[in-house]
Amino acid sequence: MFFVIPARLGIINPMRWMERFFNYLIILVLILILPASVPRLEDINEKLNITAADYSFDSAGWVTNAILVKIQQASIGGARYIGEARQVGLVKDYFKLVRVVEKLENEINQVFSNPKIKDPYTQTASMRYQLGLLHKELNQIAPLAESILEAQLTVILKEQGLTLFGQPGPAVSYHVTPLPQMLVISPRDKIEEIATHLIDPNISVEQTEALESRVSSENNVSSLVVEIGGLAVYPTMVMRTTAHDWVVETIAHEWIHTYMMSHPLGINYETSPELRTMNETTASIAGTELGRMVLERYYPELIAREPTALKLASLNPGLFLPASDPPPFDFRAAMHETRINADALLAAGKIDEAEKYMESRRLVFWQNGYAIRKINQAYFAFYGAYADVPGGAAGEDPVGPAVRKLREQSASLKEFLDKIAWMDSFEKLQQAIGK
């Protein structure tokens, strides 16, 4: 059985409501103000606003709606009326229900994708009716599961000393949602993210390809629409998935971004590629550590299990991992090699040769079970910023290793964040680790 929120939880708590309201108000103001102070290449961004207008994601609308949802959740305060053991059970029930929903959704999609089935609507009628009931059940339990996971991470943040006046600043707040995709732009002659644009999640593959082609040809750049698993607006966005451990780490990862939003490192996120990599690598390191602490405290059975296919796919959203045992192919090593060779070709001014090489390498990944749609400069500009683990798309970029070195030299996660959050240049990071 899955949990239904009891009527007695509809008690309004004015102090709780006001506390959460002001948290959202402060973060919303930061989101609106800070980008104006960040130097950007306005020409390319203005062009993207025009070219991608038909596919743009309505960020302001989503944030407004999510804030209203989270304020309503805070006013109810359901998680506070439930014991810890029951809270853990409810979160597990939520992920079980997500698994059932996604299984049925996949079965329905398979029917509609089968060219031999002439009337998929009739054949899936009972399945779609059942799916509607499951979605209603999921909509009931999801808000409470979100509140519980927020509260559990809050406990860990307090224990780690990551608080302001006794509370995490800002409050932990996330919302499960279909995430937008991100259009990433890099120059062709070097790997560097120079612009991004959020894209509606419902864009088709054909529309994606057409958009990338137009943006690339009109601006002589490398472009790629990538899938993302989380986004640091406020409340933060997290995609729906059955991977419980991945969700916890992603909630923590995105909270770190909101935490750094009031520090020099976060404020200067878009100032340089080095600072972006410092941001993302810091959030990845801290998110993994905090997520593991939550799992050890509340869901220890998840610690010992092997990483799920989706957890591995989070390192490269969109890749396909076979249902059977993965082939004897070292994805990270192969991607690391690809990045190094691509960088060398670009540094030698061999742009066309580099692009042909990256496409040839994409076919190698395909042959080994990784269905990556496109590997180009924009691909590495995006994924290379996540350098919390050696190798992979970051290549020989020195920023990731420097961030990891600072974490090794820090006695605690708090000490690490206290140091790096106040940095506004890669040079300061190098000084901090003695280079």
For residues 219 and 41, which has the higher predicted lDDT (pLDDT)?
219
* Of 38, 336, 354, 316, residue with least CA distance to 190: 354
Query: Which stretch of DSSP H or E encloses residue 267?
Result: helix 264-267
DSSP state letters, 323-334: SSPPPS--HHHH
As to burial, measured by CB atoms within 10 angstroms (0-12 exposed, 13-18 middle, 19+ buried), residue 38 is exposed
The answer to whether 97 and 2 are in contact (CB under 8 A) is yes
- The rounded percent of the chain whose pLDDT value lies above 70 is 83
* Beta-sheet strand order (sheet of 221-226): 195-199, 181-187, 221-226
The answer to whether 28 and 101 are in contact (CB under 8 A) is no
- The rounded percent of the chain whose pLDDT value lies above 90 is 68
Residue 41, pLDDT above cutoff 90: no
Question: How does pLDDT run across 354-379, given as a tens digit for each residue?
Answer: 999 999 999 999 999 898 999 999 99
Neighbour tally for 402: CB within 10 Å: 21
What is the band of 40 on the pLDDT scale with cuts at 50, 70, 90?
very low
What is the band of 1 on the pLDDT scale with cuts at 50, 70, 90?
very low
Residue 435, pLDDT above cutoff 80: no
CA 316 to chain centre: 11
For residues 355 and 310, which has the higher predicted lDDT (pLDDT)?
355
How many angstroms separate the CA atoms of 42 and 49, rounded? Answer: 10
- Apex CA 215: angle with CA 212 and CA 218, to 5°? 140
